[in-house]
Each structure stands twice: as structure tokens, then as C-alpha cells.
Amino acid sequence: MNADSLGIAIVGTGSVADFHVTAINHAPNAHLAAVVHYDPTQFAAIAARFGVPCLSFEAALKHTDIHAFSLCTPSGQHAAQTIAAAEAGKHVMVEKPLALTPTDADAMIAACEQANVKLAVMLQRRGEVLFQKVQQAVTAGDLGMLRMGLVSMPYFRGEAYYQQAAWRGTWALDGGGVLMNQGIHLLDLLVWYLGDPVRVQASGGTLERPIEVEDTLVGVLEFASSAKATITATTTAAPGFAHRLELYGNKGGIQIEGEQVRQWTLTEPGQVAPVAAAGDGAGAGADPKGIAATGHMALMQDFVSSIHHDHPPLVSGSEGKRSLQAVWDIYRAAGLR
């Protein structure tokens, strides 16, 4: 470990923390310095599991060998923890969603700007080569003028998923249901490709699960370009099926199922080489851990680089707020908030 290695502490020890450990371990000039937990009686077991000291959040804030936090805590804790970290001079990587509300997101962004620390959001599909190539093709005009987008998420999350922790499925700490927790990843891609929605219609509700938040939602979005998009999402489609993302313009379209291209068809050669069609499986549709860690690794490496070389993170706080704002606009249209 060299003297310039960035010490990162993971806050929270749920299943997503494993992806952050992998990402940190693969990031040049960074290392896992500690894990943070709220229960001192579990510190020894957690330290043994991760191979680094387990500390309280207050102790980690004061630790001089910890330069950044990677927040893997319930969404309702992100704002307070980020602001406290910024005030202690620590950089912050936040698991999606950035916060529960756009107002909280603004406070987090302001605190990090005032403290001159980096704020990044783990919307990991923006780090995947496939989705970056789609964005490049959109920017290059390979699809012409974008006219329509589609997201379909026939996911399944059983009772055991929601019983893992008391905060799951609550407005206070989860911030929403299928759209905020699962759908925000693909909604974020729609926003990245099509822009921020200017008009929204939506309907959602809790059809099956005994939870506070929605388990099924349908939304229709319109963008400044007049392009339209739909998003349909549920966690009740047993046993769980692969999501689909589709983009269509007046010069071609791209269809993606799971993390693989099904079709990339243009009316004339584009500037970006099409990605070949391949792959099967439900991926995250049936299992929240049914994804590769490559997106997490790419964004963590970018986060570390942004600190060492002082450039904006690929998914900054401001970028992370965009999909959060879209979630809120859809919830309001559906009468859920």
C-alpha cells in the first residue's frame, strides 16, 4: 500500500456492500480502510468478515487514514451521512438513490461543494461499456432524432427480500418501491439518453406485497424534444424476468434485454460500432445480486481518479439528482407522494 493510496470506509454491511468491496479492491491507488456499523456488539464479527477494522460512524469521521466514504446504508440515511462526511472533509460515494428527496439531494450537493470534496453516485450502468456505447451512438446521431424509449421491468422480489431488514419497503428509509429501488437504474438511462422529462403521467400501487410503497407502476414520459417513453415496472412477476431497454429514432433503434443487445439496427452506417447481440437469463429480474460488478468497478475507479486528479465524477451528485427528480415527478403524477 503506497502513501498516496486513498483509504475508503464502507458504511453499511448489507448485500450491496460486497459489490463495493470488489470495486474498491480493483481500484488503483485506493484500499478498503474500514467498515462502519451502528452496533458495537457486531464489530468483531464484521471486522473478521471484511478483514479490516469495524468502526462507529463517529469514529470513522475522525479517522485520519479514512479519506472517503462509500455509503451502502438505507436511502433515508444518505443525506445526513453525506453532509456529516463532507463537514469532516471526506469524499463520498453514495449508493443509489442519492437521497429520498430532491431537496435532500440539493443539501448534499451544497455541503460537498462547500467542503470541496467529491460526491459521486453509484448508478453503475453508466459505468458499463454497453450503455456508454449506446450514449455515444445517441450523441453521434446514429439513431437520428430519438422519438421513443421503452423500459420494461417484470421483476420478482419475494417476501424474504422485504423481511431482510425492517427499512425495506418503507417510505421513511427506502423512499419508494419498485421505481425508487429497482427502476431508478433504467430510468436513469432514459434520462441520460433522452434528457429530463418535461411532462409525466403515471399510475402505481401496491398490488401484492404487504409493504408501504408501490410494487407496480406504469409511467409515460415526454421530453423537451417531444420524444416519448414508457416505463413499466413490478416486483410481482414470479419468478422474475429480464428487463428491457429500447430506444428508437428516425434512423434506427437499439433493443437491450438484461445486459445484452438483442438488436442494434440502423438505416445507414453509424459512427459507433454496434454491439453484437448475445446473452440470456433474467439477471437482476430474479435476484438483486444477479449482475456483474463491472459497473461498480468502473464508477469506483472513476471516483478515486476524480479525487486524485481533481475532475468531476462520471456520475456526480448533480447527475445523480436527475433520476431522483424523475422518480419524484412520476410519483407525484401517480399520486404516491
Largest CA distance in the chain: 63
The H-or-E segment that residue 324 falls in is: helix 317-333
Nearest by Cα to 190 from 225, 148, 224: 148
Long-range Cβ pairs for the range 128-134 (8 Å, 24+): 128/259, 128/294, 128/295, 128/298, 129/294, 130/256, 130/259, 130/260, 130/261, 130/275, 131/189, 131/192, 133/272, 133/273, 133/275, 134/189, 134/193, 134/247, 134/254, 134/256
Yes or no: say if 200 and 221 are a contact pair by the CB < 8 Å rule.
yes
Report pLDDT for 39.
97
Mean pLDDT calculated for residue range 257-267? 95
Rounded to an integer, what distance in angstroms lies between the CA atom of residue 165 and that of residue 17? 15
- Residue 180 makes CB contacts below 8 A (sequence gap 6+) with 75, 97, 174, 213, 327, 331
Rounded to 5 degrees, what are φ and ψ at 161? Answer: -60, -45
Mean pLDDT lowest for which of 1-10, 131-140, 189-198?
1-10
Rounded to an integer, what distance in angstroms lies between the CA atom of residue 318 and that of residue 316? 5
Nearest by Cα to 337 from 29, 55, 100, 7: 100
pLDDT per residue as tens digits for the range 96-116: 999 999 999 999 999 999 999
Rounded to an integer, what distance in angstroms lies between the CA atom of residue 20 and that of residue 37? 15
How far lies 323's CA from each of 8, 183, 236, in Å?
Answer: 26, 10, 23
Position 321 pLDDT exceeds 90: yes
Mean pLDDT (the chain) is 95
Mean pLDDT calculated for residue range 127-133? 96
pLDDT per residue as tens digits for the range 286-317: 666 667 899 999 999 999 999 999 999 999 99
Rounded to an integer, what distance in angstroms lies between the CA atom of residue 73 and that of residue 107? 18
Position 155 pLDDT exceeds 60: yes
Nearest by Cα to 65 from 89, 45, 82: 89
Report pLDDT for 290.
67
Report pLDDT for 165.
86
Position 151 pLDDT exceeds 60: yes
Yes or no: say if 69 and 9 are a contact pair by the CB < 8 Å rule.
yes
DSSP secondary structure code for residue 224 in this structure: T
> Can you name the residues that pair with 202 across neighbouring β-strands?
219
| pTM (2 d.p.) | 0.94
- Domains delineated in the chain: 6-124+295-315 (3.40.50.720), 126-288+321-333 (3.30.360.10)
Report pLDDT for 64.
97
pLDDT per residue as tens digits for the range 9-68: 999 999 899 999 999 999 999 999 999 999 999 999 999 999 999 999 999 999 999 999
Alpha carbon of residue 33 to chain centroid: 23
Mean pLDDT calculated for residue range 261-281? 88
The answer for 82, left when phi > 0, alpha when psi is -120 to 50, beta otherwise, is alpha
Q: Which amino acid is at 94?
A: V
What would the grid cell of residue 321 be? 439528482
How far lies 107's CA from each of 50, 57, 100, 112, 330, in Å?
Answer: 32, 20, 12, 9, 22
